[in-house]
Copies of this chain bind each other. A is one copy, B any other.
Amino acid sequence: MSAPRSADQIHASLSAQIVAGQLRPGDPLAEAALADRFNMSRTPVREALQRMAAEGLVERGPRRAFIVRRMTPTDLGHMFEALGEIEALCARLAAQRMTPIARAQLTEILAVECRTHDDYAALNRRFHEALRLGAGNQVLSDLLADLNRRTLPWRNAQFHTSNGRMDSSRQEHHAILQAIIAQDGDKAAALMRDHMAGSLAVVLAMIAPRETTGNPPPSRGVTP
């Protein structure tokens, strides 16, 4: 059996709280307080925080204390651009490389009916995941997963936006699917770029007015 390592539990718990918005950018992460809260010593807490720092989820604040990572508007723009471009790159590779079977599975994913936001979030996740797998590059897939995790605290803001976004997002997914079935890599990439830009513009518009290095509106639900 795999031994339960304390540091891993802390890492998972803190990461989840950060991406869920329960811990917000700028919040302090004092070692002693966390050790007390998890009923553990500072050592595994430090390990978890150091790993999260390397992953870009937390940063150093005053007194070299760890704080939940803040983002300048410029940082957010760069991160979302990188996310969109690499996702577009994966779409192009997927169009070139997916097997007929994989294309059929991708079609199946989009054929599922869903009404609630949670349903659609799950569908959306499956769609993008299938595309990442279809690109056939583990490194790019890992990069996307990382960027997704790091932007999740900010993307969750999309929940409150119009339901219309859900419908247009779905149409864009189908357009991308058609391009992939046609094995038109450039078109798939261009469509995916627009798709990501559209969904992320909503986030930026919601975040820009607020102070950006501070706290994004806490909420649940993801609709890229």
Contact = CB atoms under 8 A, between A and B. Distances in A.
A78 B89 CA distance: 13
Given A89-B89, A143-B143, A82 B137 contact: yes
Given A54-B55, A55-B54, A89-B85, A78 B47 contact: no
Interface of A: 46-47, 50-51, 53-55, 74-75, 78-79, 81-82, 85-86, 89, 137-140, 143, 147
A41 to B, nearest CB: 12
7 closest A-B pairs by CB: A54-B54, A82-B139, A78-B139, A78-B137, A79-B139, A82-B140, A78-B138
Given A51-B54, A89-B89, A82 B46 contact: no
Copies of this protein in the complex? 2
B140 A78 contact: yes
A145 B217 CA distance: 32
Contacts of A139: 75, 78-79, 81-82, 147
A22 B45 CA distance: 32
A143 B82 contact: yes
A55 B146 CA distance: 12
A1 B7 CA distance: 32
A207 to B, nearest CB: 16
Nearest to A79: B139
13 contacts: A46-B47, A47-B50, A50-B54, A51-B53, A75-B139, A78-B140, A81-B140, A82-B139, A82-B140, A85-B89, A85-B140, A86-B89, A139-B147
Contacts of A78: 137-140
